[in-house]
Copies of this chain bind each other. A is one copy, B any other.
Amino acid sequence: MKTIVLKHNSSCHFESRIWSSFEGGARNLYIGSDFRAFFLRYSNAVSSIRSKPSGLEMTILKIIISVAFFFVLSSMCTAQPRPSMLVDAKDIASIKIAVGKYPLFDSAYNDARMKMDAALAAPMDVPVPKDAGGYTHERHKQNYNEMVAAGILYQVTKQEKYARFIKEMLLKYAALYPTLGIHPAAASDSPGKLFWQSLNESVWLVNTIQAYDCVYDWIPSADRKTIEENLFRPMVKFFSVDQSFILNRIHNHGTWMSAAVGMTGFALRDTDMVSMALYGTKKNKQGGFLNQLELLFSPDGYFTEGPYYIRYAIMPFFVFAQSIDNNRPDLKIFEYRDGILKKAFYTMLQLTYTTGQFLPINDALKEKTYSAPEVILALDLSYKKFRNDPSLLSIAKAQNIVTLTGGGVEVAKALSIVKNIAPFPYSSFELRDGADGTEGGLGVLRYGSNDDQMLALMKYTGHGLSHGHYDKLTFLFYDQGREQLQDYGAARFINVEPKFGGRYLPETKAFAMQTIAHNTVTVDEQSHYEGKFDISEKNHADREYFSATDKNLQIMSATCSSAYPDVLMKRTVLMVNDPALSKPVIIDLFRVDGKSNHTYDLPFYYSGQFIFGNTLMNSFTDKQSPLGKANGYQFLWKEAEGTADGMMQFSWLSGKRYYSVSSAADSQTTVYYARIGANDPNINLRREPAVILRKKGTSAVFASIIEPHGLWDGTIEISREASSSVTHITVLASNEQGTVVKVERSSAPSWIVMIANGTAADNIRHIMNINGVEYSWTGKASIQKL
């Protein structure tokens, strides 16, 4: 008997099916077929043991064994081993073995012990909620962190002090929770009770329920009743009834809430909760976790809110998925939708720069790296789940922390053994956006080793929910381990109470989301989609072409026709490596094609010390005013204004290298030096500089070359090639078929850069006749050297 059960690897797998099949809810959607499958496999296993029984014998035997087996398992299931959320009994066993063996795991384990020593020695505090980022907020976070640690420690050591800690704290919460109304600092449509928003409360429950699960068996049933009836069930009710619109929402808040409700369902053996979590409060798959897995990710694993928020959402996705895997293995959650969780995880890592920083499109705080705790957990779980993928180890090493999970053990073990850890294999890639992959996308080009990698990003996704920015076709440029042409990110000092309670600052919406805050074109000083969420959310940019196969000529191209009623925007970005260059250059061709006269503004938010500009500028050195009145312009001081005289060029110094932008221009091009900071009385915004090109007309082409050059080392006082090598950049022609640009450089061959604007199949031959000269190329793009 035992042998057969082991053949199926885990009695609990079966148990969860059984258990589900005997309780209410949506179980029958899945359970029946699974049980049938099991029965068949089991029967076959039995068949293979005994040879040649008679037909009747066989039938009777099968029935007897099956019935017996069924009852044995049923009785096992009532005593289903806990924990079974992030860790199961096997993980606990591996943790017991790991302690004292692998330094990184030891460190995590000892941290937990020390944290609990301190917590056990200190007075327990479950304060009445008050603030949105101050003591009570932090204390409730601390409390669940301590409970989670105590839960694991209890499982590993079986010392009752840990279980008692959780029980007592939960009883305090059970006493407090029923007395609470909506949080006094609540400011959104989704308030919490313990926290100012229900999001934080979901996070609290996702954590706390793990602790409860760990010590469930130890807590006297009367106390369990108190805790469940006064705390967990009311909280789940608060979520699933009062805020069902959140739980059903296709948004990371919904995922956190699904995880909270679903895991509570597993812990309380309440399949109704589980079903609501999986399929939405109406259990019709119009909400809940599976729907979120369907709709929040593109087929490539791109998370609709972008890199910064998948960093956050990856935690409820993985925590709940792991819990599902432990409780409902039949769901094969990690294989769901062609392995969408795995894609999401690896895509998330690719959406970091080599420093670990998440590429800060949409609302994003730049201090966030892949060392965020959510990513550490996801990595540990992934490492174990995805067969100890060694490519994850360099990131695990940078994280330098593991979690108290089975995956944490595996990672720590590998890091203590593996000597030469390969760098994470960052690559160029394009990701489609939209649940079905048809809503634009995101292109990332890279060149160079992780030590000094150039990266260019173009964003042509959909809006990306409430944290999306109005920045179609925006462009980011990294080099030397830092942003060189930057995205502002979001204006927020997370959890910093004196800064608007640690919430998003008003300047996020008023400035950081607006188009002019980005390295993309603003038309007529109005943001894309008039800066209106409802319009933008319905639209997206479009992929045109992307190719990174030739490392010396990588290219991405996208269009957007919906940001403005009568302007078609098309941006094509080339990353060009040439033996004559010390570093690759970026060629950035931004074509705006309007039907009437417009003003087109393209900023370059450079990051570093301004060195030189070739435009004669009128500097407002003695009196400074904002660049405009609205749509983000009111936050930009106009430092200087000038009219281009041929090519516009400016250079800055950043780190050990110079950078220049050289852009085709003429006397119709206005140049502004701007700086963030006007209309910002609370100094909420960073005083970052920008150079803005303004062109007027029906159509325009911004043709720029972005060029790293030279070397600066203040320690040894060396400066080389502080000036750009580009002497001219000229748009020879640009039409619906293609754009042809000439780049001239001092003491180097000129380049004729030819790109397709229309069809760009690799075998299509393009011919453009410009002033009697024929320019031709095949496929997407070509550079001809003169």
Contact = CB atoms under 8 A, between A and B. Distances in A.
- Which 7 A-B pairs have CB atoms at the shortest separation, nearest pair first? A367-B714, A619-B681, A610-B683, A495-B719, A498-B612, A624-B624, A621-B679
- Most B-side CB within 10 Å, residue of A368, A369, A680, A683: A683
A719 B611 contact: no
Contacts of A715: 367-369, 371-373
A376 to B, nearest CB: 10
25 contacts: A133-B719, A138-B719, A367-B714, A493-B719, A494-B717, A495-B719, A496-B653, A497-B719, A497-B722, A498-B651, A498-B722, A498-B723, A502-B719, A609-B683, A610-B682, A610-B683, A617-B681, A621-B679, A621-B681, A622-B626, A623-B624, A623-B625, A624-B637, A675-B677, A683-B689
A712 interface: yes
A686 B55 CA distance: 91
A710 to B, nearest CB: 9
A499 interface: yes
B138 A621 contact: no
Contacts of A719: 133, 138, 493-497, 502
B681 A495 contact: no
A491 to B, nearest CB: 11
Interface in A498-516: 498-499, 502
A687 interface: yes
Contact of A622 (B369, B499, B625, B714): B625
Contacts of A678: 621-622, 624
Contacts of A373: 715-716
A417 interface: no
Interface string A373-385: 1000000000000
Nearest to A680: B621
Interface in A600-619: 609-612, 617, 619
A689 to B, nearest CB: 7
A720 interface: yes
Contacts of A623: 623-625
A351 interface: no
A700 interface: no
Interface residues on A, range: 35 or more
Given A626-B622, A683-B689, A138 B718 contact: yes
B138 A720 contact: yes
Contacts of A673: 683
B717 A497 contact: no
Nearest to A373: B716
A640 interface: yes
A365 interface: yes
Instruction: Report copies per complex.
Output: 2
A731 B198 CA distance: 47
A712 B496 contact: yes
Interface in A666-691: 673, 675, 677-683, 686-687, 689
Contacts of A371: 715
A304 B538 CA distance: 68
A617 B678 CA distance: 15
Nearest to A617: B681
Given A622-B625, A625-B622, A714 B679 contact: no
Interface string A357-369: 0000000010111
Contacts of A368: 714-715
Nearest to A688: B687
Contacts of A718: 138, 495
A494 B713 CA distance: 9
Contacts of A717: 494-495
A639 B675 CA distance: 14
Contacts of A723: 497-498
A649 to B, nearest CB: 11
A717 to B, nearest CB: 5
A612 B496 CA distance: 11
Contacts of A683: 609-610, 639, 673, 689
Contacts of A495: 712, 717-719
Given A499-B611, A621-B680, 5 more contacts: A372-B715, A494-B717, A495-B719, A622-B678, A622-B679
Contacts of A651: 498
Contact of A653 (B133, B493, B611, B653): B493
A675 B653 contact: no
A718 B687 CA distance: 25
Contacts of A639: 677, 683
Interface in A638-681: 639-640, 651, 653, 673, 675, 677-681
Contacts of A622: 625-626, 678-679
A732 B626 CA distance: 45
Interface in A238-289: none
Contacts of A610: 682-683
Contacts of A681: 617, 619, 621, 640
Given A622-B679, A653-B493, A498 B611 contact: yes
Interface in A577-623: 609-612, 617, 619, 621-623
A323 to B, nearest CB: 23
Interface in A545-568: none
Interface string A620-634: 011111100000000
A677 B640 CA distance: 12
